[in-house]
Every structure is written in structure tokens, then in C-alpha cells.
Amino acid sequence: MSPSAGVTRNTLRQQIADALRDEVLAGRLPPGREFTVKQIAEQYGVSATPVREALFDLSAQGLLASDQHRGFQVREFTVADYRAMTEARALVVEGLFRNPAEVAVRPEGLASIRRRAAEAVRAAKGGDLDVLIGYDLRFWRELGQFVLNPYIADFLTRLRVQAWVFAVHRLRRDGMDEDVLWFGHEELAEAIARGDHDQVHAEMRSCYGHALAWADRLEAREAEAEGDAEAKAEGGTDGPPGTGSARAPEPPESPGHCA
């Protein structure tokens, strides 16, 4: 294989991985969706090799689950997974900003981060989830470039992507409420620019506090739904269909995603 052929295949592999990741983040490939290498290759009109490599890349990032016999499946993250992601990111970031030697804030990078922060807040307040996800990921990715350990930066980015995969369907279902969404991107960026570690910690605690509070509400809702399903299965309704004592559905609770 010529060098140019290798570059072309690697570029195609990355393009396919990026396209599929965007489909998952947009919710067009929902959790549990199964597909094969052949199906994706036919969809994009390419050979199987770069598709297979792209799918294994996404599996390594935790976005897909692979099965030798059934192909690939969009991973379904649980509330417990989401809580663990949030706690892991909080612990790592807390440790980083308590040790200034691990972080090098470059002034030339702050202008772009400020723009990402402003756009993320604008999208959150406007209820534009697709735009919010894009700017939020860029915001955290560019902040991650200040981290001197590339393995930690990559770990944080992967967790952020996984958190959005968990959240996107629930946010589309429940809607976004500016009273509970975290809008601290700009305050966090300015605190980092000033080198104000106390304020950085305060903003990060606010961010992760929103995320964990949402996880608590989701967990309580799932437990209630499970209890209702069990009661229904046991014949817990009174009277004939349509006249029972079932409660009226409550309006969806707004999420507290750290976005």
C-alpha cells in the first residue's frame, strides 16, 4: 500500500468516526441501536475496512459496544454511569487546579475559550441543544489544552462526550430550563484567566452540583416508574378500564445537566 493510500484510509476512518459520533450526539442514533459494518459501509458508500476501524475507535471511546456475532450497538449509559462520570471528572479537575504545576494557562488561548463560553451560554438560554453540545464540547476541549498531561486531557474529553450521549435523549424528552441548567462557562473562563483558584473551584462545584442533582432526580423518577409498573403488573388498578384510580401524569421535570 502506498503512503498516500494509507493517509486516505486513515482520513476516511476519522471522517466516518466523526460523522457517527455526531449522529450519536444528535440523538439520531439512539442508545441500543444496532448496526453492522456492512450497513455503515453501504450507507457511506465506502469499503468495510475504514468503517470497521472507525467503529472500533468509537468502541474504545466508550460510545459503542461491540459483539462478535451481532455487530455494534450504541451504548446505553445508566444514571449510575452518569453519576460516576461526573464524580470522576470532578475529582480529576479538583486535583488539577489544586496543583498549578499541572496547568499552564496560555493567554493566547483564552480569547477562543471566552467565545466558546459565550456561545454555549447563549445556546443554553435559547434552548438550542445541538448548538449547545457543540460549543460546550469545544469549550471543555480547549480548556483541556491547558492541562500539561495529555492523557488526563483526553480522559476528561472522553468523559464529557459520554456524558452528553447519556444526556441528549433525556434533555430532548424533558426540555431545557434555564433555571436549572448551569450557565457558568463565562465565569469559569474568567476565573481561570485571573488565576483565581478559589473561584475556579466554586464554579466547578456549581457545575458538578447541577449534574449530580439531575442524576438524583432521574434516579428517583426511574424508581417511581418501576414501582408503578410493578403495581400495574400486580393488578393494582381499581374498577374497569378507564375508571381506575391512576394518577394524572405530572409535567416533566427540567434537568440540571452541567452544560
Q: Which fold has domain 3-74?
A: Arc Repressor Mutant, subunit A (1.10.10)
pLDDT at 55 over 90: yes
From residue 228, how far is each of 171, 216, 256 by CA, in Å?
23, 18, 24
pLDDT 10s digits, 205-227: 999 998 999 999 889 988 888 88
Residue 160 in contact with residue 86, Cβ under 8 Å?
no
Asked whether the whole model's pTM tops 0.85, one would answer no
pLDDT 10s digits, 3-53: 444 445 678 999 999 999 999 998 889 999 999 999 999 999 999 999 999
Mean pLDDT of 135-139: 94
Mean pLDDT of 159-179: 85
Mean pLDDT of 231-250: 53
Least confident of 94-108, 158-172, 216-230, 240-254: 240-254
- Predicted local distance difference test score (pLDDT) of residue 251: 38
> Which residues, 6+ apart, have CB-to-CB distance to 252 below 8 Å?
173, 174, 175
Give the residue with greater pLDDT, 230 vs 238: 230
Which segments of the chain are extended strands (E)?
A: 34-35, 64-67, 71-74
Band of residue 236 on the pLDDT scale cut at 50, 70, 90: low
Least confident of 159-168, 176-185, 219-228: 176-185
pLDDT at 182 over 90: no
Give the cell for residue 201.
473551584
Residues 256 and 259: their CA atoms lie apart, in Å, by 9
How much of the chain, in percent, has pLDDT values that exceed 90? 51
Class for domain 79-218, per CATH?
mainly alpha
Neighbours of 30 (CB within 10 A): 12
Give the residue with greater pLDDT, 98 vs 259: 98
Residue 211 in contact with residue 258, Cβ under 8 Å?
yes
Residue owning grid cell 476501524:
53
In the chain, domain spans: 3-74, 79-218
Compute the mean pLDDT over every residue in the chain, rounded to the nearest whole number. Answer: 84
